[in-house]
Amino acid sequence: MLKKIQLLLILTISALASCKVENKGIGTALNSVSADDMKKYISVIASDDFQGRAPSTTGEEKTINYLAEQFRLLGLKPANNGSFFQEVSLIKLTADKSMKLDISGEKIKLSLNYSDDLIGGTPQVKDMIKIENSDIVFVGYGINAPEYNWNDYAGLDVKGKTVVMLVNDPGYATSDTSLFTGKAMTYYGRWTYKYEEAAREGAEAAIIIHETGAAGYPWAVVQNSWSGPQFSLEDNDLSKSDLQLKCWVTTEAAKKIFKGAGLDYNQLTQAASKRGFKPVDMKLKASISFKNKAEHTKSNNVVALWPGTDRSDEYVIYTAHWDHFGVNPAFKGDSILNGAVDNATGTAALLDIAKAFTSIPVKQNRSILFLSVTCEEQGLLGSEYYAHHPLFPLAKTVCDINMDALNIFGRTKDMTVVGFGNSQLDNYAVSVLKKYGRYASSDPTPEKGGYFRSDHFSFAKVGVPSLYLSDGVDNVEHGKEWGLATSEKWIMENYHKPSDNYEPDKWNFDGMIDDIKVYFEIGYDLSISKDFPEWNSKFPFKSLRDKMMSK
């Protein structure tokens, strides 16, 4: 008898569960999400033929034409006045790698070499960069953050000087929750911020000291990411500033510089993470000169619209960057950085989710914009360009949902909500995951600053609520520890390297398909809702949203 009741209960519950799906009428859409499609798309996007998808190359041309064609075949509309492309004006700068950074002082004459010791370039549109005997100042973390009552530049004039600083922020170094946000990286910990601030302060050169833990990646990532041509938006603040050199140096090189100045590296870097730290004049001079090839060029975001019905003037955006690093001859053997995981997977998911939307019997109310952006790897430039030149009003843009590097390690019980607690969008993620018997977890490595490292952040910076989910780590088969270790191992071995190849035999697509259904359903729920989810009260860019919504 008991068994019968139990069975009845189970039947009722499962009927209710399926009923919920049926009521939404998205069963066919969910069924259309398939590993076969993903394999088909990824095999093309990550192919050698697409040459690593570097912006402004034939690799770009092939990629964006392929994406536009797929969106057209699916029945989506070109979102930019009849075009599937949004042109992005760029500056492309290629610094001559024979550069040497000379450091001199009373007891030291040091010459740092490109790649082994430093990776650098200039934000300036000039043919030649020349810095002579610029005074070097150690500015700790190089942070000026009034809301945390912290200013490494207090009382300091760095005009014409070279600032040396640490990556990440004092909260990371000390794990002290009363400093910044403790171990979790704030935007002040990101290298992009550090150059921006050095430029605002009027520095001539900015040197960031690399540390694998604090940066969230090994030196090889610095080498691979910033040794090719460097792009910036045509309209950008750095090239209007006095900053001539932006560069990273290895920890070893930094230690040599400190030693040459008669300073204790460990002691000073510790002091830099304590309140009351004062910048240190290192009594050293920096000199460097190098040729710089400056070009004006263009790249493209791909923009495809799936219009809604009665609220078609409101938009849910999905983003995934199509670009990667192209070909780097510095790698012997396989020199193509195919970016299969990063981000052929997310780009393919855009197509698969678009397909899912087109297979819903009753169309959704709001419009869906599929935005495959360029130059993410160059500092989120394509998404920044869209955020500043939106095709549809930002105040009518409900949110951005971003996908970057999907799961290839199998099913997980969880998905990571990077920046969990930032906005009410989290509730949508939580409830969809719950429906599938899964759960939302917060970022297991918040010190890496994941929330600032992909395209949703460009939307956040202008106030539009944005959601960034990433792989879960609680692997169904092998558990959490395995999940975390496997993903860390992948990052150390393959992230931004030629070995990020498409390997269908090695990849497990089950988790990826689960996750794509979640991405789809979050967007779908928002597309039939009247809700405009808001930032939570502590989010730094909340006031921008409040202002645009009150107009």
The rounded distance, in Å, linking the Cα atoms of 505 and 46 is 15
Closer CB to Zn ion, residue 117 or residue 342? 342
- How many whole angstroms separate alpha carbon 455 and alpha carbon 384? 8
- Taking residue 106's Cβ as centre, other Cβ atoms within 10 Å add up to 9
Which of 323/521 has CB closer to Zn ion? 323
What element of type H or E holds 129? strand 128-138
CB 385 → Zn ion: shortest distance, Å?
17
Does 343 engage in binding with Zn ion (CB under 5 A)?
A: yes
Residue 187: CB minimum distance to Zn ion, A: 18
Q: Binding residue for Zn ion (CB under 5 A) from 404, 447, 474, 521?
A: 404
One of 60, 323, 342, 474 touching Zn ion (CB under 5 A): 342
384 is a site residue for Zn ion (CB under 5 A): no
- Closer Cβ to Zn ion, 67 or 207, answer by number: 67
Part in contact with Zn ion (CB under 5 A); list of ranges 85-93, 292-300, 330-338, 343-351: 343-351
What's the closest the beta carbon of residue 323 comes to Zn ion, in angstroms? 9
Q: How far is the CB of 455 from Zn ion (least distance, A)?
A: 9
Interaction mask 140-169, Zn ion, x per CB under 5 A:
------------------------------
Q: Measured from the CB atom, is 117 or 404 closer to Zn ion? A: 404
Size of the site for Zn ion (CB under 5 A): 3
Of 243, 152, 245, nearest to 200 by C-alpha is: 243
| Residues 444-483 interacting with Zn ion (rule: CB under 5 A) | none
Provide, rounded to whole angstroms, the least separation between the CB of residue 405 and Zn ion: 5
The span of 299-307, 396-404, 430-438, 481-489 binding Zn ion (CB under 5 A) equals 396-404
Q: What angle do CA 295, 299, 300 make, to 5 degrees?
A: 165
- CB nearer to Zn ion: pick between 280 and 417: 417
Report the residue number, 404 or 525, with the smaller CB distance to Zn ion. Answer: 404
143 vs 373, beta carbon nearer Zn ion: 373
φ/ψ (deg, to 5) at 244: -100, -30
| Contact status, residue 110 vs residue 104, Cβ threshold 8 Å | yes
Whose Cβ is closer to Zn ion: residue 342's or residue 352's? Answer: 342
**What is the pairing mode between strands 439-442 and 414-418?**
parallel
Q: Which is nearer to Zn ion, 343 or 487 (CB)?
A: 343
Distance CA 304, CA 78 (A): 5
Alpha helices in 261-389 (DSSP H): 265-272, 346-358, 381-388
Task: Kindly report the backbone phi and psi dihedral angles of residue 266, in degrees, each rounded to the nearest multiple of 5, phi listed first.
Answer: -65, -45
Residue 402 CA to residue 383 CA, distance in Å, equals: 11
CB nearer Zn ion, residue 314 or residue 342: 342
Contacts of residue 268, Cβ cutoff 8 Å, sequence gap at least 6? 138, 258, 280
Question: Which amino acid is residue 296, in one-letter code?
Answer: H
How far apart, in whole angstroms, are the C-alpha atoms of residue 454 and residue 365? 28
Rg of the chain in Å (alpha carbons): 24
CB of 324 to Zn ion, least distance (A): 8
Rounded Cα gap, residues 72 and 66, in angstroms: 10
- Two tokens at 478? 């092998």
Stretch that binds Zn ion, among 50-58, 262-270, 341-349, 469-477 (CB under 5 A): 341-349
Q: Is residue 414 a contact residue for Zn ion (CB under 5 A)?
A: no
Could you tell me which stretch among 72-80, 245-253, 342-350, 507-515 binds Zn ion (CB under 5 A)?
Answer: 342-350
| Sole window of 338-346, 379-387, 489-497, 524-532 interacting with Zn ion (rule: CB under 5 A) | 338-346
* Rounded least distance, CB 57 to Zn ion, Å: 18
In angstroms, give the least distance from the CB of 176 to Zn ion.
31
Kindly list the distances between the CA atom of residue 409 and the CA atoms of 344, 403, 430, 448, 479, in Å, as whole numbers in the listed order. Answer: 16, 16, 22, 21, 12
Cβ-count burial of 168 within 10 angstroms (0-12 exposed, 13-18 middle, 19+ buried)?
buried
Q: Rule CB under 5 A: which residues touch Zn ion?
A: 342-343, 404
